[in-house]
């Protein structure tokens, strides 16, 4: 313990509490006595002694002090948190103002661009209307062409059917002509012997031969 601290403790303790005790024989020496009875002289005259000072405990309300310190610490924490919140609020306010100014600048730029592009927009709208009208006309013409093409397809099917019917009729006609030619040849072969003898052919037979021969001649 330093000398200053010892002096403070000695000055704060009543004189009656300042005593010197011996570690061996329990002798107490009054520190406020005359210089002749000081601890140094006592040490020279007897065994070694240790000086002690009895201090009275201060009358403090320790639970109350601890509660006060806890409340003070909470107040300090709240103050620091409030300071941080204020700093954050100030930073956010600056950012908000900067963002609002930026938004206002962008609004002005957008308005200027819209005013500058109004004529171009009108021109493009006019061109768009023209192209749209042409597109509608083209779509109408395309629909008509598709209808005509469908009719052509239908006509082509009908034409193919007519060709098939014509081919069938031609085959049947050729068969009929061949059959008539065979019958004519047969009749001529039958009439040939009679003609060589001057046989007179009846008008009915001659008419039948003419009727059979005329289609063959027309076909030829």
Give the model confidence (pLDDT) of 43-57 as tens digits: 455 566 677 777 666
Q: How does DSSP assign 180-214, residue by residue?
A: HHHHHHHHHHHHHHHHHTTPPPPHHHHHHHHHHHH
Please indicate, yes or no, if residue 32 is contained in any of the structural domains: yes
Residue in the structure block whose two tokens are 């039958």:
190
- Say if 193 falls within a structural domain: no
| Residue listed under structure tokens 């019958």 | 183
On whether residue 48 sits in a domain, the answer given is yes
Alpha-carbon distances of 171 from 159, 164, 216, 217, 220, rounded to whole Å: 18, 11, 15, 18, 15
The more confidently predicted of residues 32 and 187 is: 187
Query: In the chain, how many domains are there?
Result: 1
What is this structure's pTM? Answer: 0.29
7 contacts 53 by C-beta, under 8 angstroms: no
**Percentage above 70 pLDDT, the chain:** 63
pLDDT of residue 145 exceeding 60, the answer is yes
Q: How confident is the model at residue 35 (pLDDT cuts 50, 70, 90)?
A: very low
Beta-carbon neighbour count of residue 187 at 10 Å? Answer: 15
Give the model confidence (pLDDT) of 177-214 as tens digits: 888 888 888 887 877 776 565 555 566 666 766 676 66
| 88: in domain | no
Residue 157 above 70 pLDDT? Answer: yes
Asked whether the predicted pLDDT for residue 165 surpasses 80, the reply is yes
29 occurs within a structural domain:
yes
Is residue 132 situated within a structural domain?
no
The per-residue pLDDT for 218 is 61
Q: Is the pLDDT of residue 31 over 50?
A: no
Instruction: Tell me if 216 sits within 8 A of 177, measured CB to CB.
Output: yes
52-84 pLDDT per residue, tens: 777 666 677 788 888 889 999 999 999 999 999
| Length of the chain in terms of residues written | 220
pLDDT of residue 59: 72
Phi-psi bin for 117: left (phi > 0), alpha (psi -120 to 50), beta? alpha
In a domain, 30, yes or no: yes
Name the residue range of residue 29's domain: 3-59
pLDDT tens per residue, range 107-131: 999 998 888 888 888 888 999 999 9
In a domain, 22, yes or no: yes
């Amino acid at each position: 313990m330093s000398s200053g601290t010892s002096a403070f403790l000695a000055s704060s303790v009543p004189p009656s509490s300042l005593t010197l005790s011996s570690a061996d024989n329990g002798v107490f020496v009054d520190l406020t006595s005359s210089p002749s009875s000081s601890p140094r002289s006592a040490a020279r005259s007897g065994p070694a002694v240790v000086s002690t000072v009895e201090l009275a405990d201060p009358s403090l309300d320790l639970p109350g002090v601890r509660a006060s310190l806890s409340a003070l610490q909470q107040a300090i924490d709240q103050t620091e948190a409030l300071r941080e919140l204020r700093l954050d609020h100030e930073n956010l306010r600056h950012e908000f103002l900067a963002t609002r100014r930026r938004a206002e600048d962008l609004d002005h730029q957008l308005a200027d661009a819209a005013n500058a592009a109004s004529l171009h927009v009108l021109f493009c709208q006019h061109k768009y209307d023209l192209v749209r009208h042409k597109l509608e006309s083209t779509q109408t013409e395309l629909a008509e062409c598709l209808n005509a093409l469908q009719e052509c397809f239908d006509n082509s099917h009908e034409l193919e059917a007519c060709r098939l019917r014509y081919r069938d009729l031609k085959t049947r006609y050729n068969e009929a002509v061949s059959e008539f030619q065979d019958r004519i040849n047969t009749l001529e072969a039958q009439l040939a012997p009679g003609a060589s003898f001057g046989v007179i052919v009846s008008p009915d037979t001659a008419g039948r031969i003419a009727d059979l021969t005329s289609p063959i001649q027309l076909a030829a």
